[in-house]
Amino acid sequence: MNYFSVLITLLRDRKDFIDEVRQSTRLNSKITSLLISSSILFAIYGAVIGAFAGPLQAISSAVKLPALYLITLIICLPTLYFFNIIFGSKLTLGQHFVVLLGAAAIISILLFSFAPVTLFFLATIDNYQFFKLLNVIIFGITGFLGINFLYDGLQALSHQDSVGQATRTQILQSWLILYAFVGSQLGWTLRPFFGAPRQPFELFRDMEGNFYLNVIQSILDVLGLH
């Protein structure tokens, strides 16, 4: 259970954590611990949201939620790393990975902290739309705090590489958009997470087109151009 000690250190004293990352102390063990602890916490929250539809959905979402956050992270990591390097950052790939995992781990622990609240509403209110909306807010708040950590962490780490700092902030902002882009497509591919009521349990729904084409077509429909 030593995996959680890194996570607790991260939560309590983020400055120390960033200092250790800057000096590259024990990066590999940080990576393993953060991967394992955040997967477990994401899985627990996934189980809670899946429980709305039934035990099978609980298990399926417990696997899908960590996969969603962590796979998106891994897909987008090289892009952030190479762009940062080219615009002056001196951080290694390992350091980038640890900071990103740190952000994901913070999101996972904050989600876990909301789990009793979500469970409570799961038990007392049987309304699918309300449950979805509640979770949109929870995911929004936790995501926002995780992203704040990412910004502060990367800025603190590259404090001495002042050359190109403004460009790298822009890169980070664009990268966040890329992360959201890849993440929403992966979320759409992996659906369902909640399990709409009255629909039988399915591991994956049919891949009807993709998220963005659907959105564009909806917009065109609304504008009457279809």
Nearer to another protein, 27 or 182 (CB): 182
Contact by Cβ (8 Å): 195, 122: no
- The CB density around residue 33, as the number of other CB atoms within 10 Å, is 21
Q: What's the start-to-end Cα distance of the chain, in Å?
A: 56
Residues near another protein (CB under 8 A) are 74-79, 81-83, 85-86, 90, 162-163, 178, 182, 185-186, 189, 207, 209-210, 212-213, 216-217, 220, 225
Nearer to another protein, 71 or 122 (CB): 71
| Least distance (Å) between residue 108 CB and another protein | 22
Nearer to another protein, 1 or 225 (CB): 225
Nearer to another protein, 129 or 160 (CB): 160
| Least distance (Å) between residue 210 CB and another protein | 4
| Least distance (Å) between residue 185 CB and another protein | 6
Helix, strand, or coil (residue 210): coil
Contact by Cβ (8 Å): 201, 56: yes
- What are the residues whose beta carbons fall under 8 Å from the beta carbon of 57, sequence distance 6 or more? 50, 51, 192, 194, 195, 201
Which residue has 């990576």 as its token pair?
31
| Least distance (Å) between residue 79 CB and another protein | 5
| Least distance (Å) between residue 160 CB and another protein | 12
Q: How far is CA 141 from the centre of its chain?
A: 12
Nearer to another protein, 8 or 163 (CB): 163
